[in-house]
Structure 1
Amino acid sequence: MSGYILFLAFVGFVHGQTRLGSYNLDPAISVSGLSSGSYMANQFHVAQSKKIVGAGLFAGGPYYCAAGSMLTATNACMKMPTSIDVNSLVSRTQSYASSALIDPVSNLANDKVFIFSGSRDSVVVPGVVKKQEEYYLRYTNAANIKTVYSVAAEHGMPTDYYGGACGSTNLEYINNCNYNGAYEALNHIYGGLQKPTPGAALTGELILFDQKEYFKLAAPSTYGMDTAGYIYVPASCKSGTQCRLHIVFHGCLQAREKLGDKYARNTGYNQVADLNNLIILYPQATSNLSNPNGCWDWWGFSSIYYANKNGYQMTGVERMMLRTFGQY
């Protein structure tokens, strides 16, 4: 009997997934992410800079930091900033741009970039995050880059209403710091946004959508991607108001397989979305043998092309993005 009930629950879970919808969207797309999600948001921003107008980067280092090596990823790119040579990362960026594997870097000049590192972060140390700033200063006007290094936060997404103690780690990697990181990043990118009260009630809907159709050659798990993702659609956007799209990349150990919808519900993005006509897309990575913690691919476990437009995860998320515009 218990097996039958479990089967029914699984069937219900599968049928809860819908096809990702299309909406009336302004072309000003932005991205953000935490930890491995910060690395992914940075990769997606650099690769898709014709479409992306800004990035919010929490506790992550610079583009192509790992250079295809897991050893480099888990050492230099998390703990050893003096080992990160930004000049070599710029050279790789220029090479990809020359080969049209990423968009022209000139697109980055006027983009808005928000960079956050908790002063107590022991997982991705602040010095590594400052290399992210150094990287962007090669391409983006300094006046468009906002850095926050003063919040006494451990590794995690900072919120003003949910999570563990700000200065300690917790299994969800969401920290209650009396600081609305989602709002601060989005407001820097777009400007003039209304700030929600902490934990404000929501008017929209968090939808579980099917990710399988965005991966053509093999099952999504082959590339470290889940079969389903989340999208938050405010009531205004659902009724046809023109909205803007923001893509959020969770960190390691924060995907649906570990936290369900906790990251999508409790990091503050949806409250900002409700007040400011934003749709929030939460693609979901998952674990596999090469990626046991369900991280985004920022060191090459899925493909040598992981950091450019030909990367499997990059292509899959691009297709999701295009679908929301009705272009895929």
Structure 2
Amino acid sequence: MANQFHVAHSGKVLGAAVFAGGPYYCAVGNMLTATNACMKFPSSISVSSLKVYTQTYQNTGVIDPLSNLARSRVYIFSGSADTVLVQGVAKKLQDYYASYITTSGAIKTVYDVAAEHGMPTDSYGGACAVQNNDYINNCNYNGAYEALNHIYGGLQKPSSGAAQTGQLILFDQSEYFSLAPAITYGMDTAGYVYVPTACKSGAKCRLHIAFHGCLQGREKVGDKFARYAGYNQVADLNNFVILYPQAKSNLTNLNGCWDWWGYSGLAYATKNGFQVTGVQRMMLRTQGQY
């Protein structure tokens, strides 16, 4: 979803950090493709075909101009012990981005951490190479910091296990979906936003959107991802507001995943997708523009 939102709104989004994810429009609207090729069989993924779909979306105006991607900075993490999404799929994402981003060093890849599927941290979660129900892994590796520092540069690194000094706020997501209730589009009625003390006191702060993984939304793990993924401590030191929108399971999405195969509608990977539109509205509200 981070990649999807980035490509759709590359005019507004500076870059993307993708933990265990595949290339844009990989599933081409098909759940079987999503759960097979896009997770287990990278040899079945044609990046050139996905670029044709991407170009068509640009030409029809449903994603931002692809020229925006040239200025982006992208971070890709795939654990060497990941049994859910194999590393070859993440490398297809690398190939996809490399087609548009040619600046040396703009794409950073991390493939050498022996992590299972999940968010790598330096102080919280289960054993790094063992899958756990929260999908947060204690790997002695601060993924949130490494990702944000690559995208933005020059950030202060929090100490391992640093306390969070800001405020994690539960907010109403339902107002960002006007045609039908949020659950119709696989969205929870509430999401989280983390606001550091400095930001709350009027400091100028940047905004980062953190998308949880499948089985990692509020309905499954409560606020664990929003509280323990590692972003908040980075935010405290570097004046970031962290927006944590929340997806939710429904009859066509039992694991509460973000829509990257079309369960919410045919336009799911574009600016017209219901989830993408809803999150964009949350982004604009956080920035005081909606």
TM-score range, shorter chain: over 0.9
Match among 250, 259, 262 for residue 288 of structure 1: 250
Match among 36, 44, 49 for residue 88 of structure 1: 49
Between the aligned partners of 2:115 and 2:4, the Cα distance in structure 1 is 24
Partner of 2:20: 59
Q: Write out aligned runs for 1:110-259 (5 A).
A: 110-143=71-104, 144-259=106-221
Name which structure has the greater RCO, CA cutoff 8 Å, separation 6+. Answer: 1
When Rg is computed on C-alpha atoms for both structures, the one with the higher figure is 1
Aligned length: 289
Partner of 2:34: 73
Match among 219, 228, 231 for residue 269 of structure 1: 231
Between the aligned partners of 2:235 and 2:265, the Cα distance in structure 1 is 33
> How far apart are 1:61 and its partner, in Å?
0.3
> How far apart are 1:87 and its partner, in Å?
0.4
Contact 1:291–1:301, Cα closer than 8 Å, also in 2: yes
Aligned residue identity for 2:159: T
Between the aligned partners of 1:125 and 1:293, the Cα distance in structure 2 is 19
Aligned residue identity for 1:145: I
> How far apart are 1:198 and its partner, in Å?
1.3
> How far apart are 1:142 and its partner, in Å?
4.5
Aligned residue identity for 2:191: G
Contact 2:121–2:138, Cα closer than 8 Å, also in 1: yes
> How far apart are 1:199 and its partner, in Å?
1.8
> How far apart are 1:110 and its partner, in Å?
1.4
Between the aligned partners of 1:256 and 1:124, the Cα distance in structure 2 is 22
Question: What RMSD in Å do the two structures reach over aligned CA positions?
Answer: 0.6
Q: What TM-score do you get using the length of structure 2 for normalisation?
A: 0.99
> How far apart are 1:327 and its partner, in Å?
1.1
Between the aligned partners of 1:326 and 1:81, the Cα distance in structure 2 is 41
SS of the equivalent of 2:184 reads: helix
> How far apart are 1:256 and its partner, in Å?
0.3
SS of the equivalent of 2:263 reads: coil
SS of the equivalent of 1:109 reads: helix
Partner of 1:50: 11
- The superposition leaves residues 136-179 of structure 1 with CA deviations (integer Å, 9 ceiling, x where unpaired) of 00111252000000001111100000001101101111000000
Between the aligned partners of 1:149 and 1:254, the Cα distance in structure 2 is 22
Aligned residue identity for 2:271: K
Contact 1:199–1:268, Cα closer than 8 Å, also in 2: no
> How far apart are 1:42 and its partner, in Å?
0.4
Between the aligned partners of 2:218 and 2:145, the Cα distance in structure 1 is 23
Q: What TM-score do you get using the length of structure 1 for normalisation?
A: 0.88
Between the aligned partners of 2:289 and 2:129, the Cα distance in structure 1 is 43
Aligned residue identity for 1:89: L
Aligned residue identity for 1:295: C
Partner of 1:35: none
SS of the equivalent of 1:76 reads: coil
Between the aligned partners of 2:241 and 2:168, the Cα distance in structure 1 is 10
Between the aligned partners of 2:36 and 2:152, the Cα distance in structure 1 is 34
Match among 60, 63, 84 for residue 99 of structure 1: 60
Runs (4+) off by over 3 Å: none
User: Any unmatched runs of 5+ in structure 1?
Assistant: 1-39
Between the aligned partners of 2:68 and 2:85, the Cα distance in structure 1 is 28
> How far apart are 1:294 and its partner, in Å?
0.3
- The superposition leaves residues 24-72 of structure 1 with CA deviations (integer Å, 9 ceiling, x where unpaired) of xxxxxxxxxxxxxxxx110100000000001100000000000000000
- The superposition leaves residues 68-104 of structure 1 with CA deviations (integer Å, 9 ceiling, x where unpaired) of 0000000000000000000010000000001110000
> How far apart are 1:319 and its partner, in Å?
0.3
SS of the equivalent of 1:78 reads: coil
Between the aligned partners of 2:270 and 2:144, the Cα distance in structure 1 is 26
